[in-house]
Structure 1
Amino acid sequence: MATEVKPSIRLILIGPPGAGKGTQAANIIEKYSVKHLATGDMLRAMVTSGHELSKKVKDIMDKGEFISDELAVSIIEENLIKLEKGVGFMLDGFPRTTTQAELLDELLTRINSKIDAVIELHVEPSVLTKRITGRLLHKATGRTYHEVFKPPKVPMIDDVTGEPLVKRTDDTEEALLVRLEAFHNQTKPVVEYFKKQGLHTIINGDREEGEVFKEINGLLSPLGKL
C-alpha cells in the first residue's frame, strides 16, 4: 500500500509583538511539522553566539528597532537553503517591508518554491502592552511565561528546570511603542502586497489560544491535503 504523501506547507505569520505568534507558531509546528524560521529567535541566537555582528544586532534590538532588509534577507536565505527537500516552513517576523517581500519572492522563485498562505494576527495596542510588559523568558529553551496571564509556579523561576526567568531588554513599554510604530508603518504595505496575490488572511488574536488556532487550522488544513 502506498504511503500518503502530504505536500509541504509554506506560510508567513505576521503580527505585532505580543500578538501570540510564538504560541500559534508552536501549534502550527506540532500540527504540520513545518520548520519555524523566526527572525527574532535567530537574531537572539546570533547575539549570544559571539557572531561578528553580535554587538551591532544587540544594539539594534535594545533600541527596539528593526534590522536592515539586507541582513534580514541574508539570514532567511541561509536558513531556507539548509531545509531538507519537501520540508515546509513558516516565516515569523519576516518580511517586514515590501522590499523584503519582493526579495523573498525572487529567492523562492530561484529555489522553485512559493508561499501558500499569509496569516496576520490582529490584537489591539492596549492589549499588546499588557502582554509584552509582563512577559518572562527562560533563555535556554525559549519557554515563555507571563506575570499575569501565565505565571510560573514560583515567581521568576522556570517550572521545568528551576532556573531563573528573565525579562527581555526590549520588553518595555517605551521600546514597544517604537516597535509598534515601525511595525505598522512598514507592515501595512507588506499586507497590501500579499493581498494583491490573494494570500492574506487576518485573524483576531485577542481570543483564547484554542479558538485562534481552530481558525488557523481551518485555513491551513486544505493546503496539507493532496
Structure 2
Amino acid sequence: MSKDFTLYYNPITVNSIKVMLLCNALKIVPEYKNIELQKGEHKSASFLQLNPDGRVPVLIDGGFVLNESAAILQYLAHKYQSTLWPNELEHQAQVLKWLFWQGNEWNKVVGAYAHHQVVLPHWRNSQPESFSAQHLAKFKQVMSTFNRALNGKEYLVGNHLTIADISIGSYLIFADEANMPLDKYQHVRRWLENLQVTPWWQETQAQLLKTLIVKL
C-alpha cells in the first residue's frame, strides 16, 4: 500500500462510495483514511489544509491533492488509461453531461432519498424520515427521465461502462435498505442489476457492511 496514494473518505457518504467503487473497478488499493464526520474531524485544521471546504473525499497522489468526487473519478480513470473514461471526445462530453445532470437533478432527489432513509437514521440511531408529496413527485419525475434515457441501452454512454454509470449508480447502492421505489422503472432496474453483479460492486458493498450497521 503506497503512502503516496491516500483516500480520505467516509463510507456512509455517497461521494466517498463513488470513489470506492472506482478504486475496486480499477483494482486500485489506496490507503483509506476514514474521516469521522460525527466527531467533526472534517473541520480539523489538518483536514482543512487538504480541503478548505471540509468535505470528503480527498485524494492524495504523491504531492497532488484533489477533492470533488467527479474530478477524482476522471483523474483516476484517465491516469490508469481505463475505458471508464472514454477516448472519444463525443463520449467524454456525454460522460460529463451525465455528471453535471447528476449534480443538478439526481443528487437533489435520489441522493436525498438515501440520505434521509439510511444515512441520517444511521448517524442519529433513529427511524427513517418521511417524504413530502412534492419530494415524491420530483423523485418520480427524475427517475422517469433516467428510465427513458436507459431504454434500449446497457450503459449510459456508448456500449460500455464509464464513470458516469459508477457515479450515478453509487446513489443506489443502498436502494434496498432505503426501500427506494424502483419497481416501475424497468430500464433502471435492469441497468442497476448489471452493476450489482460485478465483482467491484460486490466488493464495495462488503467493505461498507464491515464498517456500517444498516438498520433495515
TM-score normalised by the chain length of structure 2? 0.30
TM-score normalised by the chain length of structure 1? 0.29
The structure with the largest helix share of the pair is: 2
